Chains A and B, each alone.
Chain A
Amino acid sequence: MYPHNNHLDNQPILDVHRLSVRYNGRFALEDISFHLHAGEHVAVVGPNGAGKSTLFKVVAGVLPPTSGEVNIFGSMPRGHVCIAYIPQRSQVDWNFPVNVADVVMMGRIAKLGPLSWPKKRDWDLVHQSLQIVELDTLAKRQIGELSGGQQQRMFIARALAQEAELMLMDEPLTGLDAPSQESILSLLDELQRQNVTVMVATHDLEQAAQHFDRIMLLNHRLIGFGTPDEVLQTEKLIQAYGGRLRPVDGENILTVDDCCDEGENHGPAH
């Protein structure tokens, strides 16, 4: 299903220009501009309520921006199906009567079009995607029976079945044990080999520095966007996290006093 060669090398895959989003008179995002190239992996970090989920939803075309523009391959996001938004696990109804293969097949339905049923090629793609995330033996499981890491991998499989070129993952590592986090991170490496562009919201600055090309530091405004060395500097972190940042051992190590369980919820997404 990959790689996608249908865009020019030097053209950005995602171009965000002076994007602002307001809720009830307050800025959730203010004047954000950046662009990404195909295959780049970016960690989006910032305190709770910094606007990470909002940014993803605007890029995915789920939320309309108050002002500014989001261009994907130079076209407006509403015209595109190659973006996958992978929700926080806490936002999903795990008792819904569907199995793993059903959920992954949902990624295919836009390509199927109305009034048609999945064909052999679609089921093949579903099973290939499940193989990549190593869930093919659990295809018939009810989704509530999966572990947290398996649930996250199922959604990555769905994004693969969707043939997404840009994946937006909202805190995929939150609440997972170390081995599950490792398996997700190695999947991200696999996606990079296939030239899939990925934005991951995370709370773990160390992981962000280790596993991602660039880090986006966000707190309503774009505070930093660049290599880990460029972005993870004390003054920038203080700017982003404010009082929640505590210096440890002099100046070199910082810990972030931040609860990462509740995530962000910016109202209904329809």
Chain B
Amino acid sequence: MAPLINWVLEPLQYAFMLRGLAAAVLVGIVCAVVGTYVVLRGMAFFGDALAHTILPGVALGYLVSGGARETLFWWALGTSVIAALGIGAISKNSQVKEDTAIGIIFAGMFALGIALISTVRSYAVDLSHFLFGDVLSVSTGSLWLILIFGGLVLLTLAAFYKEFLTLSFDPILAVTLRLPVGLLNNLLLALIAVTIAVSLQTVGVALMVAMLVTPAATAYLLTHRLPVMMALAALFASLSGVIGLYLSYYLSIASGAAIVLTATAFFLLVFLGKRIRGTLSF
């Protein structure tokens, strides 16, 4: 017993590890709950694209502030919300198909971000932090921002629960009930955008889509009720955060990658377990 307890406790003596765990769990919960709608509405590509699209904003903030990390959240938040509403508007009114339009914007913006960062000498290291996250360098200030903005996202989702549910299941009903459909759609896009800004430091832009999609998809295999799906997704995501960070600590692998790999392992376990046991439902 004692070795196991030591194994668990040892990393906890480091303040950066405690902050990292707190960030991973908080981000995991927010991503998973928002991700439930991303999965149900088939918005995985949009989420992935949006995460990549914020890179030039983050890069600009990085150049302006001379490398300071603290202000990056605000740059990420601003770019993310503008990009989300922009992609939403363009994909609706475009003569190009929606996924093509998203693809063009996403790749172009991503390239712009890389170009901006490449003007700095320590280019490779900084770029990899934006792409893949750096949860172990989360400061107390960043943790507060994650808590406040993540909390706001969850509160908004709870407040408009029945509207988002109806809009996602039957958009025509939402219109005949005279719900403000355009407003609600944009609100959901904005919530995904805030979630991405909040998660930037934990998993980075390249792995973001995994946090949005994988835990929610795992939960979707196990339940037929939306509230249960949200709760299970949050559970899988926070477990992935904790287990992933321990793996990162002991095996010296990149933290963002370890978290995503753990979440993927959960998905595969549930997927295969369900296959083997035939039906398994809550």
A: residues with CB less than 8 A from B are 57, 60-62, 78-81, 83-85, 87, 92-93, 96-99, 102-103, 105-107, 109-110, 112, 114-115, 117-118, 142, 144, 158, 162, 269-270
Could you say which residues of chain A place their CB within 8 Å of the CB of B220?
97
B: residues with CB less than 8 A from A are 40, 159-160, 162-163, 165-166, 168-173, 175-179, 181-182, 185, 220, 223-226, 228-229
Could you say which residues of chain A place their CB within 8 Å of the CB of B181?
270
Closest to A105 in B: B162
Is the CB–CB distance between B172 and A110 below 8 Å? Answer: no
Selected contact of A85 from candidates B160, B176, B223, B229, CB within 8 Å: B176
Selected contact of A81 from candidates B166, B177, B182, B229, CB within 8 Å: B177
Closest to A108 in B: B162
- Bound together, the chains give a CA A104 to CA B166 distance in angstroms of 11
Could you say which residues of chain B place their CB within 8 Å of the CB of A81?
176-178
Is the CB–CB distance between A106 and B171 below 8 Å? Answer: no
Could you say which residues of chain B place their CB within 8 Å of the CB of A162?
177
Question: Shortest beta-carbon distance, B270 to chain A, in Å?
Answer: 15
Is the CB–CB distance between B185 and A97 below 8 Å? Answer: no
Interface contacts (Cβ under 8 Å), in number, total 84
Contact A115:B224 (CB < 8 A) given known A61-B175, A97-B229, A98-B169 = no
Interface of B is mostly: helix
Contact A97:B166 (CB < 8 A) given known A60-B172, A85-B173 = no
Question: Shortest beta-carbon distance, A110 to chain B, in Å?
Answer: 4
A–B Cβ pairs within 8 angstroms, 18 of them: A60-B172, A60-B175, A61-B175, A61-B176, A62-B172, A97-B226, A97-B229, A98-B165, A98-B169, A98-B224, A99-B224, A102-B225, A106-B166, A106-B169, A109-B163, A114-B159, A162-B177, A269-B175
Closest to A77 in B: B176
Is the CB–CB distance between A269 and B169 below 8 Å? Answer: no
Question: Shortest beta-carbon distance, A86 to chain B, in Å?
Answer: 9
Closest to B220 in A: A97
Selected contact of A109 from candidates B40, B162, B171, B225, CB within 8 Å: B162
Question: Shortest beta-carbon distance, B235 to chain A, in Å?
Answer: 16
Is the CB–CB distance between B178 and A78 below 8 Å? Answer: yes
Question: Shortest beta-carbon distance, A195 to chain B, in Å?
Answer: 20
- Bound together, the chains give a CA A99 to CA B225 distance in angstroms of 7
- Bound together, the chains give a CA A84 to CA B179 distance in angstroms of 14
Contact A109:B177 (CB < 8 A) given known A99-B224, A142-B224 = yes
Could you say which residues of chain B place their CB within 8 Å of the CB of A102?
165, 225-226
